[in-house]
Structure 1
């Protein structure tokens, strides 16, 4: 079974009404990320229906997205309050996506708010025993500053990992139970992501679509079927290393095991 470690089904449905049918037919387990009540309730309904029908599971994730303070601070407070309720009621498989986005000046202007939000998300993940899903752009130095605390989290998933191979290895050496999720950037000649995907330990790899936000070239949005292309590309990258040999099917099984380990899906 294939797995998608980071996606936004609520947003995908707006562009592709048949998305859930495609996911079920493809047998793709997914971790659905949301940051407000409407999104979460939509994902929670999907998860309940999938469980009732014996379909591929939907793991529920919630957090205040690190880009949100740039646009709407009151919504940040509402979402943060909801996060605590969901965690207390054991309705989550992970806290995320949280983290740091310092991609441009507008986002950097909210760095202090992002820092405060991240610290609260991290503390909640530790207290609740939940994995943490990270969104990190131009901010790996911030992650390393929290490496001691991140060691206390059951698992740390780097959504659409954009750090270097060395940074990934260093985090693991520091005792962070890190998993590195790769999506369409490895299919679009993003060299740093390609190198990391080719050589990070196999038991640390995940695949994702970030649907609908990371389309393949020439496509309007990313979707569940893109997982096949991502798996084929990831296997090809790993096979370029001397002595390596893995098929897309073997990589699918391996990343699915990793997915189930992180998100606790049956």
Structure 2
């Protein structure tokens, strides 16, 4: 891989203001990006901007139930088209092309699809096994437990036992195939017992953490919750929500997480970080999150921010490549 980009995307706009992107202290890896879900931009242009912003690795996702593709080959052809268009644009702009050889995807059914998954489990598992044969497929995800009632989209949580069975089936698939898994865990509003995390912890204890690795994606909980999972050897991925002013507890968890277990992600197009919160998020924006959390950790723990950023990069490479 080349040591530095030839050009660098310097600013991101929010309304009429421009915000300068921090120069990356290490190569950037976005370990969870929904390229299929953008509202007002194309994946190709977002990938080209990411290349200019110092992103050198990216993991996206394919959900055979939720995504609008007829089959896995249809998704795979679409991804190839987006990568080719992004590479062409980045080459015209004089950006590093490293990213385009380092995009991977995970295949899995989100807990929103748990009922559908269990109604045709064997068929969906066949699709996931097909995806795992692809050289760009790096694991299973996002799977997990979502006990939250989504009032914005009027999505009622599936019965907890159904979600647990869906998670267990896909967790077993990851272990059988020697690949890592990314978990989506969300509790219902006001649930101080953090039931989704408690149930997921029990499942991992009973079935074992996949030897290839397990990631808690988009971690938005407190330090005691984080400690339980990195005590199991899990990786914990932090996104834009960790930069929000009210989320001191997430930053505390990040500062205490072992360096060999931290990851960064955007979860784009959702939850753009400060100072551009509220815009449609994209991978190029991950530098804001890395910079904010690395410096916050440096203040709390006395660690060099560049070493924190480098550790997250090395963790991502170890997990997905």
Query: Which TM-score bucket, shorter chain as reference?
Result: 0.7 to 0.9
Is 1:187–2:246 an aligned residue pair? no
Of Structure 1 and Structure 2, which has the larger fraction of its residues in helix?
1
SS of 1:146's equivalent in the other structure is helix
How many equivalent residue pairs? 259
Displacement of 1:112 in angstroms is: 2.6
- Residues 95 and 72 (structure 1), Cα distance of their counterparts in 2 relative to 1, 3 Å cut: closer
SS in 2 for 1:225: helix
Task: Compute the displacement of 1:55 (Å).
Answer: 2.4
Decide which of 35, 52, 59 is 2:63's aligned counterpart: 35
Does the Cα contact within 8 Å between 2:230 and 2:236 map onto a contact in 1? no
Residue-by-residue CA offset, 1:170-203 (whole Å, 9 max, x unaligned): 3333xx3311100111111323322111211111
Q: 8 Å contact 2:180–2:210 — kept in the other structure? A: no
Give the superposition deviation at 1:49: 8.0
Deviation at residue 50 of structure 1 after TM alignment? 8.1
Match of 1:235 in 2: 294
Please name the residue that 1:171 is paired with: 229
Q: Secondary structure at the match of 1:227?
A: helix
Q: Look up the match of 1:60.
A: 105
2:36 to 10, 26, 31: 10
For the aligned residues, what is the CA RMSD?
2.9
Equivalences for 1:89-104 in 2 at 5 Å? 91-104=136-149
Contact 1:10 / 1:39 at 8 angstroms: preserved in 2?
A: no
Structure 1 contact 134–156 (Cα < 8 Å) conserved: yes
3-state DSSP of counterpart to 1:171: helix
Q: Are 2:157 and 1:108 equivalent residues in the alignment?
A: yes
8 Å contact 1:184–1:215 — kept in the other structure?
A: yes
Determine the structure 2 residue equivalent to 1:26: 53
Unaligned runs of 5+ in 1: none
Aligned equivalents of 1:257 and 1:49: distance in 2? 28
Paired with 2:148 and 2:309, the residues of 1 have a C-alpha distance of: 31
Give the match for residue 156 of structure 1. Answer: 214
d(CA) in 1 for partners of 2:214, 2:135 = 19
* CA spacing shift, 1:75–1:228, aligned 2, 3 Å: farther
1:80 offset after TM fit, Å?
Answer: 4.0
Q: Could you tell me whether the CA contact under 8 Å between 1:150 and 1:156 is conserved in 2?
A: no
**Match of residue 134 from structure 1:** 183
Deviates more, 1:104-113 or 1:249-258: 104-113
Rounded Cα–Cα distance in structure 2 between residues aligned with 1:171 and 1:100: 15
State the alpha-carbon separation in 2 of the partners of residues 21 and 234 from structure 1.
25
Instruction: Check the 8 A contact 1:34/1:40 in 2, yes or no.
Output: no
Residue 226 of structure 1 corresponds to 285
Question: What is the deviation of 1:97?
Answer: 0.2
Question: 1:145 deviation in Å?
Answer: 0.8
Q: Which has the larger radius of gyration?
A: 2
- TM-superposed CA distance for 1:261, in Å, is 0.6
- Confirm or deny: 8 A CA contact 1:206 1:256 kept in the other structure: yes
1:51/1:79 Cα in 2 relative to 1: closer, same or farther (>3 Å)? Answer: farther
Q: 1:208 to 1:226 in 2, by over 3 A?
A: same
State the distance in 2 between where 1:182 and 1:260 align.
16
What is the alpha-carbon distance in structure 2 between the residues aligned to residue 62 and residue 221 of structure 1? 24
Would you say the 8 A contact 1:47–1:59 is kept in 2? no
TM-score for the superposition, normalised by structure 1: 0.85
Pair 1:82-2:127 in alignment = yes
